Amino acid sequence: MIGWYINRLKTISIAEFPYRIKQLIKNQYERYFNQGKFPAKITVVTKKDILRFSYSPEELYPDSINIFGTAFRYTGQNINWQEDISTGERFPLSFSKTIKIRDNSNLSAKNVWEVNRLQFLSFIAFNYRKTGSDIYLSQFIRILNSWIDNNPYLVGINWYSNIEINIRLITWFFCWQILDADRLITTNPEFKDFVDRKWIPAIFQHCRFSFYNPSKYSSSNNHLISEYAGLFIATSLWQFKESEKWNRYSKKGLEKEILRQHSENGINKEEAAEYIQFITDFFLIAYIVGENTSNLFSENYKIQFRKILDYISNFLDRDGHFPQYGDEDDGKCFILDFDKNFNNFKSLLTSGAIIFKDHLLKSRSNGFDVKNHILFGEPGKKVYESIPEINYIGNSKYYKNEGHFIFRKNENGNEIYLHFDAAPLGFLSLAAHGHADALSFILNVDGQPIFVDSGTYTYHTEPAWRSYFIGTLAHNTIRVNQHDQAVNGGPTLWTKHYKSSVIDLDLNEDNNRVKATHNGYVKDDAQHIREILFDRLRNEFQILDTILVKKNRKITVEIPFHLHPGVSITKQSANSYLFSKDSVRKTELFVDEKLNPVVIKGQMDPQILGWYSGSFAKKEATNVIFSKTQIESTTIFKFIIKIV
């Protein structure tokens, strides 16, 4: 792992070095002199009824959850909060800031943190709210007591990352509201004693950690958004003597980051599509809390929030699928429902419809769901129901400055949807959650994925798999000389980025066209230019790939077309294939005759190829139409995709 630390140093600017040195000194001071030193008695008052909902679940919530494919029964006894439940390996109970999270390939911090976000506590709180049974209240107290006792301040992996501290604060905020803790304190002496002696001190510790450990400079991505949101929400409810200062600080940060981390059109700059629902929820819950505590956010915040929702509305296909560019880890800012089919993107559009009283957002939403019932209560439901119903007819949408292009045709309830990615690698010097996917595309037909992004699978474990899934070969684009378009320096670290640029585009009634390139193959004396033309009358895409060879040398070119695991293949001729999936229209692919394509599935040697990760920590074999050739001069390859 020495190489990772060297590469990490390469991403740090001159201005960032003094900050990092100051952090190291601060960490050593905390390690030896400052652990857990807080006032003997912490005084707090609360702002009551911030969320004004009357929701009670129709049925009891389950007593277990699924953590990346592993069942976790949270009501069991003796939970080890340092354990990776998928492998049984454990992090040490040592000073948090010196723990090495990348040293053991069988130990995933992500798996541990997912449990320790404690989002299942809201399920227990809802069961208590529904039944009034002390069984559930005792469960809640026992589990949270166990967590607090076994995670002393600054000890263990659960004090390593500030994003986790703030997600817990948001979880506890919801639990407080669901339990109606202010009333419960006055009627239940056991609960009051637990709150005074354990819960409030833990909340204060989390707020203090959040304020004094911000993510800055090259680390100031979605983590910083979570830190501001968690602290703002916590200090809007729990009024410590420091709360006013912390609240002003975090609100100012949210106002800044909603603009800094999004483009003018509301597109998140991390270039990780699934993260958008995660990040947007932080802005959403902060906005609602601000409204309900008369601590309103600015008009600029509200305008930018609307732009984010507009992009979500545009980048979803007919059935709510999103283009899986960049990292995804199934993370949620908060969890209030256990419906396996819950679509948080569409739920965000429900929230947007209520806030902006907008019929377009309503038409793309999933109705007034449990999450929005809790966020907005009965008044929100009345607003949602008052918004006129319209039939959504989506059209192609180009985001030239950001490099995202959505080709779409809706007709008689059917839809052709293609997302073309000519965007930057990612955000800041790390580009932590970006993939080397310049000029890649995905295609959905009638709400079903056909050509797919391969997904993510893992972060800090299984380095060979991490390298594959973030690499160029795992995407529907072209790889030159077996090199990724960008230089990877570790699991969430890129040391050299490419630059994409749009050469030409056209958007009219009959034809949509985009032509773009990137500079990721400069060292190979080559350049990839891709043009995609959508003939809307013929339901046909033409893809023209030009490989410019700038010196007289041999260039190896690899061209994959990744298919969803549910797609069946029929080979029609040496260079044409017919794809079918469920009951949707069939899709044809015609491969340039200069190539000799083969079908590869689940390959491990000589290189990993033909794998798909539909969610974090899961992978399965899938078919790839793969071509490999050598060229010595500028060459154009032509591919045709037709929906029939």
Q: How far is CA 504 from CA 22, 322, 419, 517, 530, in A?
A: 47, 25, 17, 10, 11
Q: Count Cβ atoms below 10 Å from residue 244 Cβ, excluding itself.
A: 11
CA distance from start to end of the chain: 51
Q: What is the DSSP string of 456-520?
A: ---SSS-HHHHHHHHSGGGSSS-EETTB-SSEEEETTEEEE---EEEEEEEE-SSEEEEEEEE-T
Q: Count Cβ atoms below 10 Å from residue 150 Cβ, excluding itself.
A: 16
Three-state secondary structure call for residue 109: helix
Amino acid at 580: S
**Rounded-to-integer distance, Cα 313 and Cα 365, Å:** 9
**Rounded-to-integer distance, Cα 425 and Cα 413, Å:** 35
Token digits of residue 354 = 């209520």
Bridge-partner residues for 488, per DSSP? Answer: 494
- Give the DSSP letter of residue 195: I
Q: How far is CA 565 from CA 97, 448, 548, in A?
A: 41, 11, 33
**Rounded-to-integer distance, Cα 445 and Cα 581, Å:** 9
Amino acid at 31: R
**Rounded-to-integer distance, Cα 150 and Cα 310, Å:** 44
| Confidence (pLDDT) at 68 | 92
| Confidence (pLDDT) at 13 | 84
Token digits of residue 174 = 């919801």
**Rounded-to-integer distance, Cα 248 and Cα 644, Å:** 57
- In 318-428 the beta strands, taken as DSSP E runs, fall at 397-399, 404-411, 414-421
**Rounded-to-integer distance, Cα 209 and Cα 214, Å:** 9
**Rounded-to-integer distance, Cα 565 and Cα 621, Å:** 7
Token digits of residue 258 = 């909603």
Bridge-partner residues for 83, per DSSP? Answer: 90
Token digits of residue 341 = 């089919």
**What is the SS3 assignment for 507-576?**
ECCCEEEEEEEECCCHHHCEEEEEEEEEECCCCEEEEEEEEEECCCCCEEEEEEEEECCCCEEEEEECCE
**Rounded-to-integer distance, Cα 360 and Cα 211, Å:** 38
Residue with token string 């009638």: 446
Three-state secondary structure call for residue 349: helix
pTM: 0.96
| Confidence (pLDDT) at 551 | 86
Q: Minimal CA–CA distance to 209: which of 34, 15, 18? A: 34
Decide the pairing of beta strands 511-518 and 500-507: antiparallel
Q: Are 573 and 590 in contact (CB under 8 A)?
A: no
- Give the DSSP letter of residue 198: I
Token digits of residue 388 = 């006129």
Burial of 381 (0-12, 13-18, 19+ CB in 10 A): middle
Q: Minimal CA–CA distance to 459: which of 276, 324, 226, 616? A: 616
| Confidence (pLDDT) at 35 | 66
Token digits of residue 482 = 């077996």
Q: How many CA atoms lie within 13 A of 561 on its CB side?
A: 25
Token digits of residue 74 = 């949270």
Burial of 4 (0-12, 13-18, 19+ CB in 10 A): middle
Token digits of residue 577 = 């294939």
| Confidence (pLDDT) at 36 | 67
Which residues, at least 6 apart from 284, have a Cβ–Cβ distance to it below 8 Å? 305, 348, 351, 375
Amino acid at 57: P
| Confidence (pLDDT) at 431 | 94
| Confidence (pLDDT) at 105 | 83
H or E stretch including 393?
none
Token digits of residue 374 = 């809790």
Residue 607: φ, ψ to 5°: -150, 155
- Give the DSSP letter of residue 52: -
Q: Are 589 and 577 in contact (CB under 8 A)?
A: yes
Q: Minimal CA–CA distance to 225: which of 277, 187, 264, 150? A: 277
Adjacency order of strands within the sheet including 540-549: 500-507, 511-518, 526-535, 540-549, 635-643, 587-590, 576-580, 568-573
Mean pLDDT by 10 residues, the chain (644 residues): 73 82 85 74 82 90 92 90 95 95 90 97 96 97 97 97 98 97 96 96 96 92 97 97 97 98 98 98 98 97 98 97 97 90 96 98 95 96 96 92 98 95 96 97 98 96 95 98 96 94 95 98 97 98 97 94 98 97 96 98 97 96 98 97 98
**What is the SS3 assignment for 5-51?**
HHHHHHCCCCCHHHHHHHHHHHHHHHHHHCCCCCCCCCCCEECCCCC
